[in-house]
Amino acid sequence: MTLVPVAEAQARLFALAAPVATERLPIRQAAGRWAADDITALRTQPVADLSAMDGYAIRFADLPGPWRVIGESAAGRPFAGTVAAGEAVRIFTGAALPTGADTVLVQEEAARDSERLMLDGEGPAHRGRNVRARGLDFHAGSRLIAAGERLTPARIAVAATGGHGALPVRRSVRVALAATGDELVPAGGPVSGAQLPESNGVMLAAMLADLPVAIVDLGILPDRLDVLTEAFRTVEADLLVTTGGASVGDHDLVRPALLAAGGAIDFWRIALRPGKPMMAGRLGGALVLGLPGNPVSAFVTATLFVRPVVAHLAGARDPLPVTTHALLGEDLPANGGRTDYLRARLEDGRAYASTIQDSSMLLTLARSTCLILRPAGAPAAKAGESAEILVIA
Ligand SMILES: Nc1nc2c(c(=O)[nH]1)N[C@H]1C(S)=C(S)[C@@H](COP(=O)(O)OP(=O)(O)OC[C@H]3O[C@@H](n4cnc5c(N)ncnc54)[C@H](O)[C@@H]3O)O[C@H]1N2
Ligand code: MOO
């Protein structure tokens, strides 16, 4: 049985579907979406030379003063006249520098007696001190945000300053979630002996909460081919994510049900631990990801495939999770043929893997703050060596 390497599986998954359609959204609703186009400045910022401090606009050549104060320039209310030799204008942060002035004397270094202004300190060290030149931040026509970049709060702010009130984004991604298994009952309800509270659907919804998605909750589906087939046949979504029933047991029916519903499997089984039995395919207009039922396997495959493919569909240029590095807290044994994602805790910059790595253990996962990546075939590693990690909490 050949297992698909993780990076190849991610690339194949992204190739199965293009990003969803674009729309224009009012800027206050666009946070967290991905830009569908380059966003270019419609104006220059600042549009004029502005004061960076509260003080007095002067001519540097007139130092060390004294000056005569001839007016005021406030943000939004510029001084209309011109500053001539020996003259100063009271100025505030963000206000336009009057014509003729080239420098701002901060008020802490000035002494004023009615219209008469004197230096009371060292004064500005050079011409242009405390002045923000026109276009310091950006010029009209500059690219502010590239297509495929996420609309973070700072990018929303730069777009607003660049003159935009609405932004081109991808519409939200419709994600259908289905948990499968006869043993499952909804969280919080009564649980009899052989039953188990459903947690994968709850966890997946939480893992998607910061992404632009509209969740279609198919709830808990029983291990019955006819019920699963009908649910899959009628689902309307961009992405269908199932959990459980992905392996090879007699009650693992997700694959046959997808095929019976008219879907096609593109790949099944990944060189990944935990998460090997994951499958990916298409069903009508939707992508399908069949995640393994073990909760930790569902978490790891959702981290490596579900969140990234949602980002891909939502127009992300770089949809993959970003890893970093940490020193190993303890020795690790050689790894087998699957890339391993060890549940671990980061403490003082060192990553400590949990002793038991069973893919059913949710408390271990809940206490973990990172996953240590162990590439397929990696040799044993010593405490203190650097390892690639994925921060998860
Ligand atoms: N003979 C083999 N057996 C198994 C293999 C294999 O290759 N050969 N693979 C194992 C691996 S690895 C995994 S991972 C699991 C995944 O199997 P399934 O996707 O079919 O998962 P289930 O059997 O349906 O469930 C596994 C486990 O997880 C619990 N579960 C399922 N769904 C939920 C849910 N929504 N919330 C909470 N818990 C859930 C379920 O009760 C089971 O305990 O297969 C191995 N077997
Ligand atoms: O791949 Mo399974 O996910 O080891 O438990």
Beta bridge partners of 116: 68, 113
Return the ∠ at Cα 367 (arms to 205 and 307), rounded to 5°: 30
Tell me the CATH number of domain 6-20+171-313, given options 1.20.120.420, 3.30.310.50, 1.10.275.10, 3.40.980.10: 3.40.980.10
Q: For 105-161, what is the HEC assignment? A: EEHHHEEEECCEEEECCCCCCCCCCCEECCCCCECCCCEEECCCCECCHHHHHHHHH
Domain boundaries, the chain: 6-20+171-313, 24-44+149-170, 50-132, 324-391
Tell me the CATH number of domain 324-391, given options 2.40.340.10, 3.20.20.70, 3.80.10.10, 3.40.190.10: 2.40.340.10
pLDDT the model gives residue 1: 77
Whole-prediction pTM: 0.95
Environment class of residue 26 by beta-carbon count within 10 Å: exposed (0-12), middle (13-18) or buried (19+)? Answer: exposed
For the chain, residues with pLDDT lower than 70 are: none
User: Which ligand has its closest atom nearest to the C-alpha of 292?
Assistant: 1
pLDDT the model gives residue 194: 95
**Ligand 2 mutation pick, 4, 359, 364, max ligand atoms within 8 A of CB:** 359
- Cβ–ligand 2 distance for 274 under 6 Å, the answer yes
The atom of ligand 2 lying closest to the CA of 358 is: 5
At the topology level of CATH, where does 50-132 sit? Molybdopterin biosynthesis moeA protein; domain 3 (2.170.190)
List the residue whose alpha carbon is closest to atom 45 of ligand 1.
Answer: 247
Backbone angles phi, psi at 361, to 5 degrees: -90, 100
The atom of ligand 2 lying closest to the CA of 338 is: 1
The atom of ligand 2 lying closest to the CA of 297 is: 3
**Residue found by looking up tokens 């990916």 in the block:** 280
Per-residue pLDDT tens over the stretch 249-299:
898 999 999 999 999 999 999 999 999 999 999 999 999 999 999 999 999
CA–CA distance, 285 with 283 (Å, rounded to integer): 6
ipTM: 0.98
- Count of alpha carbons within 13 angstroms of residue 313, beta-carbon side: 27
**Ligand 1 mutation pick, 247, 252, 272, 278, max ligand atoms within 8 A of CB:** 247
AA letter at 164: H
Per-residue pLDDT tens over the stretch 195-225:
999 999 999 999 999 999 999 999 999 999 9
180 and 245 Cβ atoms separated by less than 8 Å: yes
CA–CA distance, 309 with 298 (Å, rounded to integer): 15
CA–CA distance, 244 with 242 (Å, rounded to integer): 7
AA letter at 206: A
pLDDT the model gives residue 230: 98
